[in-house]
Amino acid sequence: MKKITQILSIALIAVGFASSAKAQDDKTLLGAGATFPYPLYSKMFSEYNAKTGIQVNYQSIGSGGGILQLTNKTVDFGASDGPMNADQTTKIGAPVLHIPIVSGAVVLTYNLPGDNNGIVLTPDVIADIFLGKITSWSDPRIVSKNKGVNIPALPILVAHRSDGSGTTAIFTSYLSKVSSDWNTKVGQGGAVNWPAGLGGKGNEGVSGLVKQTPGAIGYVELIYALQNKMDYAKVVNKKGKIILPSIASVTAAGNVKLPEDSKIFLTDTDAPDGYPIAGLTWQIIYKEQNYNGRSLDRAKKLLALLWWNIHEGQQYAAPLNYAPLSKEALKVAEKIVKSATYDGKPILK
């Protein structure tokens, strides 16, 4: 049933794109992908529609799904929290641009009875929980870091993503950096073979598993934990500091020089005050916009949206607990957007 639902969802997106492709002067742009920035995109695209009359139909289907839809040319842009990997790049068969939009935190959310929000977890403990080595909340390595905190002796249920996910790419990037055991046995990527636990689709699915299961722990975007009033952990970073995920600590984590293509993970940051499980989220487009019968008008509308997203649209990030682009990141984003072409000529001057 799940596969049938996914196929129907993809088919509906394809039909929507086909309709807009036939009417190139319409006022609808299509995007699909990451659930990580979905609350922000909902707000940004609503404001953009109010200001310009352009509607942006965004389907929150996971980063892997968004990249697949872009590959199939059924959306104007894909959205991902992880850069496209080598296999995805090969399959898409044409140069693409990763435009950074904001950065955000992936948090460890859990369901424990009592007043125990903000328990402290160390990198080795996090890795061993998700490796299935630590199976109880009464484990001495958890208790020793949380003296005086009421932590019930419940069994741990790991909740993870079942779909291809940029959130997973961020989290497994972190685990691979802090645990050689994880790096060897599991590795990093948008979809991995999980050693333990149950899978849920999207941030919503993981949140649902955690909320309904006492003793469960999972990883979700910070905004989902806040919106659902879920407890989440503080994490000890590389410098040994206990860090609460917040706009300030995510901004600190991202205070690094970005490569020209912007494809970088912000995990396990060296920044003393940086939250270590953070990452950028990107909107991805074909560099050459004259494809699949697209008009220059449609390409211009898409590039105008992207330019607005990295400028005026940034004001909506902080209120939703995303970190806006730094000055360094904005410069990189502007250069990337300006490199998009139509018939080999820059779309934006």
Q: State whether 308 and 267 are in the same domain.
A: no
Q: Are residues 211 and 98 in the same domain?
A: no
74 and 147 in a single domain? The answer is: no
Residue where a domain terminates, one of 278, 293, 308: 278
Residue 152 has, within 13 A of its CA and on its CB side, a CA count of 13
Q: Are residues 255 and 128 in the same domain?
A: yes
What is residue 245's three-state secondary structure?
Answer: coil
Based on the domain organization, do 129 and 249 belong to the same domain?
Answer: yes
* Structural domains in the chain (count): 2
Do residues 267 and 284 share a domain?
A: no
Please say which residue of 233, 248, 278 terminates a domain: 278
**26 and 153 share one domain:** no
101 in Cβ contact with 58 (< 8 Å): no
Q: 269 and 199 in one domain?
A: yes
Say whether both 287 and 175 belong to one domain. Answer: no
With b meaning 16 or more CB within 10 Å and e meaning fewer, what string describes 273-296? ebbbbbbbbbbbbbebbbeeebee
Do 269 and 321 belong together in one domain? no
Looking at the structure, do residues 266 and 320 belong to the same domain, yes or no? no
CATH code at position 305: 3.40.190.10
Tokens 């799940």 sit on residue = 2
Kindly state whether residues 224 and 285 are assigned to the same domain.
Answer: no
Range of the domain at 317: 2-103+279-346
Q: Are 217 and 156 in contact (CB under 8 A)?
A: yes
Q: In 3-state terms, what secondary structure has residue 117?
A: coil
Per-residue pLDDT of the chain (349 residues; tens, 9 = 90+): 444 444 444 444 444 444 444 444 478 999 999 988 998 999 999 999 999 999 999 999 988 999 999 999 999 999 998 899 899 999 999 999 999 999 999 999 999 999 899 999 999 999 999 999 999 999 999 999 999 999 999 999 999 999 888 889 999 999 999 999 999 999 999 899 999 999 999 888 999 999 999 999 999 988 888 888 999 999 999 999 999 999 999 988 887 788 999 998 899 998 899 999 999 999 999 999 999 999 999 999 999 999 999 999 999 999 998 999 988 889 999 999 999 999 999 999 8
